[in-house]
Amino acid sequence: MIRPRCVVLAFALCLASPTAPASETDADCLMCHADRDLTSASGKTLFIDENRYGLSIHGQAGLSCVDCHADLAKVEDFPHAEKIEPVDCSLCHEAEKSAVAASVHGRPHQAANASIVVSCKECHGTHDIRKKDDFDSPVFAINIPDTCERCHLGLVQTKRGGDFIRVYNESVHFKAAKKSGLSVSATCATCHGAHDVRAAADPESRVGRKAIIRTCGRCHAWIERDYLEGVHGKAHVKGLENVPVCTDCHTEHAIQTAETLSSSVYATRVASVCSRCHDDENLARQFGLITSRLRTYSDSFHGTASRFGATRVANCASCHGFHDIRNSADPRSSIHPANLSATCGRCHAGAGPNFAKGKIHVVSEKTEAKGAYIAKIFYITAIGGLISLFCLFIAVDLARRARTRWKAKKSP
Name which of residues 376 to 395 contact ligand HEC (CB under 6 A). Answer: none
Stretch that binds ligand HEC, among 285-293, 366-374, 393-401, 404-412 (CB under 6 A): 285-293
Q: Work out whether 356 is an interface residue with ligand HEC (CB under 6 A).
A: yes
* Three-class HEC string of 158-226: CCCCCHHHHHHHHCHHHHHHHCCCCCCCCCHHHHHCCCCCCCCCCCCCCCCCCCHHHHHHCCCHHHHHH
Closer Cβ to ligand HEC, 241 or 412, answer by number: 241
Exposure string over 246-262, b if 16+ CB within 10 A, otherwise e: bbbbbbbbbbbeeebee
Residue from 183, 283, 363, 368 in contact with ligand HEC (CB under 6 A): 283
Minimum CB distance to ligand HEC, residue 199 (Å): 3
- What mask, x for binding ligand HEC by CB under 6 A, covers residues 108 to 127? -xx--x--x-x-xxxxx-xx
Helix locations, 238-315, DSSP H: 246-250, 270-278, 281-287, 293-299, 301-307
Q: Work out whether 211 is an interface residue with ligand HEC (CB under 6 A).
A: no
Minimum CB distance to ligand HEC, residue 16 (Å): 15
Stretch that binds ligand HEC, among 208-216, 368-376, 381-389, 393-401 (CB under 6 A): 208-216
Q: Work out whether 20 is an interface residue with ligand HEC (CB under 6 A).
A: no
- Determine the Cα–Cα distance for residues 76 and 63; give it in Å rounded to an integer: 19
Q: Work out whether 143 is an interface residue with ligand HEC (CB under 6 A).
A: no
- Determine the Cα–Cα distance for residues 407 and 412; give it in Å rounded to an integer: 9
Minimum CB distance to ligand HEC, residue 375 (Å): 23
Looking at residues 22 to 81 of the shown chain, list those that interact with ligand HEC (rule: CB under 6 A): 25-26, 28-33, 40-41, 46, 48, 53, 57-58, 61, 63, 65-69, 72, 78-80
| DSSP β-bridge partners for residue 194 | none
C-beta of residue 185 within 8 angstroms of C-beta of residue 191: no
Q: Work out whether 196 is an interface residue with ligand HEC (CB under 6 A).
A: no
Q: Work out whether 255 is an interface residue with ligand HEC (CB under 6 A).
A: yes
Looking at residues 315 to 334 of the shown chain, list those that interact with ligand HEC (rule: CB under 6 A): 315-320, 322-323, 325, 327-328
C-beta of residue 250 within 8 angstroms of C-beta of residue 264: yes
Q: Work out whether 360 is an interface residue with ligand HEC (CB under 6 A).
A: yes
C-beta of residue 327 within 8 angstroms of C-beta of residue 301: no
Chain-centre distance for alpha carbon 115? 26
Looking at residues 215 to 254 of the shown chain, list those that interact with ligand HEC (rule: CB under 6 A): 215-220, 223-224, 227, 231-232, 235, 242-250, 252-253
Stretch that binds ligand HEC, among 354-362, 373-381, 391-399, 400-408 (CB under 6 A): 354-362
Looking at residues 295 to 314 of the shown chain, list those that interact with ligand HEC (rule: CB under 6 A): 297, 301-302, 312-314
User: Using alpha carbons only, how large is the chain's radius of gyration in Å?
Assistant: 35
Residue from 13, 14, 27, 199 in contact with ligand HEC (CB under 6 A): 199
Closer Cβ to ligand HEC, 40 or 411, answer by number: 40
CB atoms within 10 A of CB 196: 19
Helix locations, 56-119, DSSP H: 57-60, 65-68, 94-102
Minimum CB distance to ligand HEC, residue 27 (Å): 9
Residue 75 DSSP code = -
